[in-house]
Structure 1
C-alpha cells in the first residue's frame, strides 16, 4: 500500500480544488464553517500519481483546499480572521487507478487528517493556504504544497531502473471568486525544492448544492503542466532506455478533469465525506513507454471531527 497526496484534485489533485463546505443541519444545530476537502483524490496533487493534484492546501489539486471563496470581508477583527477557527481530526483513504504499464490496477492510500481552518488561513497535512487579499471581486491566496513522488521503481518491472523521484515542495498563488451558481478557482504552482523544477496551473469551476444534511459539489476543470513536471511523471532518460522501454521526453500538456463530492453531517461535530474524480491523460502522457492507460479514476472516503 502506498500513501498518496491528498488534494487540491486532483488532485487531483489532487496538494486543485474542492472544499469541505458548510453542511445543512437540523434546526437546532449550528452551521459549520467552510473547510478543506480531506478526501480529495489529488489533482497536486494530488496525491498520488499524475491525477489532477490541485496543490491548494485544503486543493490543491492540489488534495485540495479552498475555503470561503466569496471574497467578502467579515466583521471579525483582522487578527481573528487569521487565528480564530476550527481544528479538524480524522482519517482519510482513497483508491486510485494506476496508469503505469505493468503496475497494479489500483493503488490504495490512507492518512490521518489534521488541519486548522480560519477565515483566511488553512494549515494541514495537505498544505497551506493563506488568503492575503479579499473583496467583492474575489480573493487572492498564497499556497504551499507537498507533491508526493509519482511511483516507486518496484511498482512495476517497467519502472525499475528509472531515476528516483522524490517528494517536491511547491509554492504558488490562487484566485477564487463566486460566478453564477458556482465557484471559480485558478491556481499556479512551481517547484522550489529542485526536485522536478516544473510548474502547474489549474482552472476549475464547481457548483455546490444541498438537500437536507447532504452537501454536494460537482465540477471540473483543466490543468496545464510544463515539460519538466510531465517528465517527472512519464519521462524516460536516454540512459534508462531498454528494449521494452523507449526513451521519452514529454512536452507541456493540458489534463482535463471531472470531480464530484458529497458530505453528510453525522453529528454536530462530525462529518463523513466521499468523492470521485476522473483525470484524462493527453497524448503527451500516453505516448510514454511507461504509460498504458489514458484515464485515472479515483474515489475517496473520509471521516472528520471538528472542534
Structure 2
C-alpha cells in the first residue's frame, strides 16, 4: 500500500470519526479502521485498506489524527472553530497509479486552513466547512454544506445498546484553481487520447451516513458510508472515470 493512499483514507476516516462521535470525552481515543473506497481517476478503481486511528481532546483543543482544531465559539446551538488539515500525502495521484495517468505530472496534497461551523436547528444540524490552500500548491479552495439528523435506534429496540444512526445530505464547492490542479491536463501532458483540459469551478452532491454502537462505556463500533456525485467539470476530465467517489468504513475506537 502506498503511503499516499494510507493518509488519504486516514484523513477521510478521521473526519468521519469526528462527525459520528460528536463531543468525545477529554483525553485520548485510539482505534483501528478498515476502508474500501473508489477513486475518481481512470484505472485506479477500488482499494481496501486497514490502519490505526488516534484522537486527543482537551478543552477547546482537538487533535483528530494529523488535523488540529480549536473551538472559537461553543454554545448549545452553535459551534465555530478553525482547523489545519495537512494533505501532503493525502490527495492527488502519481503517474504509476494507473496506465491512464502515464505521462502526467504528480499531483500532491497541500496544507489547508479551514473554518467549520455547526448550527443546531431543532432535530436537524447544519454543518459548514470552508478550506483554503495555504501551502501555495494550487491556491484553490473548497467548501461543504451538510444538513443532517440522528436517530437513536435503541429507543425502538430495547435489547440493543446505545445505537445512533446518522444521515446527512449536502453539497460541495470546488474552485477552478482546485479542479484545474487535480483534474486538469496541461499541454505538456496531452496525448492523442488525452486532450488538454482546464476545468472551471464545480458543485458536487454529498451524502454521508453512519451507525454508531456503544459496545461498552469505552468501546465504540462505527460503520460508515460516504458518497460524492462529482460535478460536471470534474466528470468531463479525460483523467477521471465519470463515476461517483464513494467509501465504506468500519472502525473500532477506545477512549483511554
State whether residues 146 and 170 of structure 1, in contact with CA within 8 Å, keep that contact through their aligned partners in structure 2: yes
2:64 and 2:57 mapped to 1: Cα distance? 9
Task: Indicate the structure with greater helix content.
Answer: 2
Aligned counterpart, 2:35: 94
SS of the residue corresponding to residue 154 of structure 1 reads helix
- Summarize the alignment of residues 74-93 of structure 1 with structure 2, pairs less than 5 Å apart: 85-93=26-34
State whether residues 101 and 239 of structure 2, in contact with CA within 8 Å, keep that contact through their aligned partners in structure 1: yes
State whether residues 87 and 114 of structure 1, in contact with CA within 8 Å, keep that contact through their aligned partners in structure 2: yes
Provide the TM-score with structure 1 as the length reference.
Answer: 0.73
SS of the residue corresponding to residue 231 of structure 1 reads helix
Deviations 1:204-223 (A, max 9, x none): 11201212221111111101
Deviations 1:180-219 (A, max 9, x none): 2121111111011112211011111120121222111111
1:144 and 1:219 mapped to 2: Cα distance? 23
Shift in Å at residue 17 of structure 1?
7.1
Residue 135 and residue 13 in structure 1: after superposition, are their counterparts in 2 closer, same or farther (change >3 A)? Answer: closer
- What stretches of structure 1 of length at least 5 have no aligned partner? 22-33, 36-83
Shift in Å at residue 286 of structure 1?
1.2
Deviations 1:236-273 (A, max 9, x none): 11110001111111101111111110111222211111
Residue 198 and residue 15 in structure 1: after superposition, are their counterparts in 2 closer, same or farther (change >3 A)? Answer: farther
Aligned counterpart, 1:59: none
> Is residue 139 of structure 1 aligned with residue 97 of structure 2?
no
Aligned counterpart, 2:157: none
SS of the residue corresponding to residue 95 of structure 2 reads coil
Residue correspondences, number: 244
Residue 163 and residue 14 in structure 1: after superposition, are their counterparts in 2 closer, same or farther (change >3 A)? Answer: farther
TM superposition outliers: structure 1 runs of 4+ over 3 Å: 11-17
Aligned counterpart, 1:62: none
Residue 186 and residue 289 in structure 1: after superposition, are their counterparts in 2 closer, same or farther (change >3 A)? Answer: same
Residue 7 and residue 279 in structure 1: after superposition, are their counterparts in 2 closer, same or farther (change >3 A)? Answer: farther
Task: Indicate the structure with greater strand content.
Answer: 2
Provide the TM-score with structure 2 as the length reference.
Answer: 0.87
SS of the residue corresponding to residue 158 of structure 1 reads helix
